[in-house]
Amino acid sequence: MTFERIIANRMLGRDEHNFSRPLIRIATITIALGVVVMIMAVCILRGFQREITNKVVGFGSHITIRSYGWVNDYDEMPISLSSSELEALRNIPGVSSIQPYAYKGGMMKTDEQIHGIILKGLSPYSDTSFFSTNIIRGHLPTLNDSAVSNEIAISKRIAQLMKVDTGNRVATYFWSGDNYRARNFLVVGIYNTDLNEFDDHYIIGNIRQVQRLNRWDSSQVAGYELTVEDFDNLYPILQEVKGTTRPDLAVTSIREEQPSMFAWLDLLNSNIVLILTIMAIVCAASVASAILIMIFEKTQMIGILKTLGCTNRSIRHIFIIKALSIIAKALIIGNIIALTFALLQYHFHIIALNPESYSMTSVPIELNPMFFISIDLGTIIICFIALLLPSTLISNIHPARTIRVE
């Protein structure tokens, strides 16, 4: 054990009763609470971004390929990709799946209500995991190539508005040029995502129904949806898809499809940065003020150590060791508290939210070890930098002025 560590450990002794001891406790508590706030803020805001992104992508996809003649969901232009073109898209690094889709706008009518809807047609090759996890009653429609199913799944909001439930038949009308075409669908499932912008209008059915409504053949679809393995790599994959796709087809990302939604989500990153900055400053100020008070309190001890031959650098090491022990203790306490809160919320959803306002029923949590590691390292670095200023005061302390003989 080095000389500096021996002195620092003596300063941390349990028998020490002085003015700086309560300040050290306050600094430890302050840093621990700061770490808790930073970790929880990152876990919650990142969890919120993840949940909203998954819901938006669940209704669409990361990347969409469609005709340039597309106008809206009520008047789509069909496209068809060959098997070689589809294979080329699947072979792009980062692309996890590709599936055809088709939309058809219309309205649903009961004896009491009329409501605008968008029928999303899914194929047997579609990834239905998103809707399957959000089904609250019944099941998804039958998806196969052999027959055209009249089954649909509607949202909880539409079911409540139209006063229908699973097992009921509903009349729907879809525009086709200057006329409309009627369909009588059987409701077999009700889903709920709490994303009202989509739940208010989308119903899920068989893609064959949309093809028949539009008078398309079995190879014609409105477009193709591609999902990527890593959302953070969306842009480079998008460029690769554009380079692989025919020039007469439009390729767009989910960010381009929902610009306002993702602009709002990106704004949350500013909130994360603001919270981290404020709490980092608080932690740095707490540990710096505690060490500064200790230096003033231990002025006589510093003078004695200098008289015995200690250098300014050696004495600074003593106080830095002391500060690091405070930070380490605070980090351990803060991490334990934050992890406990995060696990409780993640598994038991203790804190509930209003789905009308937040599009989810409870506070989301993203548990990522890198959040804890990054915040801990950042806190150590910021606090260590904050120690440089008070530690420089040691060089200005002169033994002759500090040592008094009573």
Q: Which of 318, 329, 330 is nearest to 294 (CA)?
A: 318
CA 341 → CA 335, 336, 393, distances in Å? 10, 9, 40
Q: pLDDT band at 15, cuts 50/70/90?
A: very low
Question: Which region holds residue 168: left if phi is over 0, alpha if psi is between -120 and 50, else beta?
Answer: beta
pLDDT at position 371 is 94
Q: pLDDT band at 379, cuts 50/70/90?
A: very high
Average pLDDT estimate for 7-31? 72
Q: What is the pLDDT of residues 138-192, one digit of tens each?
A: 999 988 776 788 999 999 999 999 999 999 999 999 987 778 889 999 999 999 9
Q: Which residue has the higher pLDDT, 240 or 10?
A: 240
CA atoms of 215 and 135, how far apart (whole Å): 30
Highest mean pLDDT among 26-30, 175-179, 308-312, 340-344: 340-344
Provide the 8-state DSSP code for 38. H
Sequence-ordered alpha helix ranges (H) in 127-258: 129-134, 156-162, 196-199, 207-213, 234-244, 254-257
Cβ count within 10 A of residue 167? 9
Average pLDDT estimate for 58-79? 79
Contacts of 157 (CB under 8 A, 6+ apart): 192, 196, 199, 200
CA atoms of 307 and 325, how far apart (whole Å): 27
Among 13-17, 190-194, 251-255, 357-361, which is the least confidently predicted range? 13-17
pLDDT at 74 over 70: no
Among 333-347, 358-372, 389-403, which is the least confidently predicted range? 389-403
Q: What is the pLDDT of residues 128-141, one digit of tens each?
A: 999 999 999 999 99
Q: CB of 255 within 8 A of CB of 237?
A: no
Cβ count within 10 A of residue 103? 20
Total number of residues shown for the chain: 406
Interior CA angle at 371 toward 369 and 373, to 5°? Answer: 70
CA atoms of 345 and 277, how far apart (whole Å): 25
CA atoms of 83 and 125, how far apart (whole Å): 14
Radius of gyration from C-alpha coordinates of the chain = 31
Q: Pairing mode, if any, of strands 202-206 and 114-122?
A: parallel
pLDDT at 405 over 50: no
* Percentage above 90 pLDDT, the chain: 58
**Helix axis angle, 20-59 to 312-348, nearest 10°:** 40
Q: What is the pLDDT of residues 251-274, one digit of tens each?
A: 999 999 889 889 988 888 888 999
pLDDT at 41 over 80: yes
Q: Which residue has the higher pLDDT, 58 or 74?
A: 58
CA atoms of 121 and 221, how far apart (whole Å): 10
Among 4-8, 230-234, 355-359, which is the least confidently predicted range? 4-8
Provide the 8-state DSSP code for 171. E
Residue with tokens 């949590």: 365
pLDDT at 370 over 70: yes
pLDDT at position 12 is 52
Cβ count within 10 A of residue 351? 12
Average pLDDT estimate for 351-358? 90
Q: CB of 399 within 8 A of CB of 303?
A: yes
Average pLDDT, the chain: 88
pLDDT at position 304 is 79
Q: pLDDT band at 64, cuts 50/70/90?
A: very high
Contacts of 40 (CB under 8 A, 6+ apart): 338, 341, 342
pLDDT at position 18 is 62
Average pLDDT estimate for 43-50? 94
pLDDT at 21 over 80: no
Residue with tokens 């599936």: 99
Q: Which residue has the higher pLDDT, 369 or 391?
A: 369
